[in-house]
Amino acid sequence: MSNQPLTMSRRHVLGDLNTRCEPAENVPVYLNGTDGEMLGYVDESLGKYADAFTFHIADDLCKKLAAGHFTYSFDYDFAEGNQTAAAPAKRRIRLNSITLVMRKGYE
């Protein structure tokens, strides 16, 4: 199984979390939950101004991801630690993992 990277817009993947998210470095990617095997990882290898995530996962999953077969779920921590200076809805976040969730009807 080869791994051909797939690059997608950060805004497409993160949605409303895009403006709050710290740059991603080797964030693990899982399928339907973090209990299972890690599929690969996501990074911003195109540079900090590229505004894109590169998924390093198997080709068959890249094709399904590009075709819209998955939604995204995120595990993250607040980047500032325990500081409560900003409201939780405005605080910066650091991704711990991204989970690909199969859409109904595509299973």
> How much is the pLDDT for 29?
96
| Confidence check: pLDDT of 65 > 90 | yes
> How much is the pLDDT for 49?
65
Average pLDDT, the chain: 86
Predicted TM-score of the model (pTM): 0.85
Query: What is d(CA 46, CA 48) in angstroms, rounded to the nearest whole number?
Result: 7
| Confidence check: pLDDT of 57 > 90 | yes
> Rounded to 10 degrees, what is the CA torsion of 7, 1, 75, 9?
10
| Confidence check: pLDDT of 107 > 70 | no
> How much is the pLDDT for 68?
92
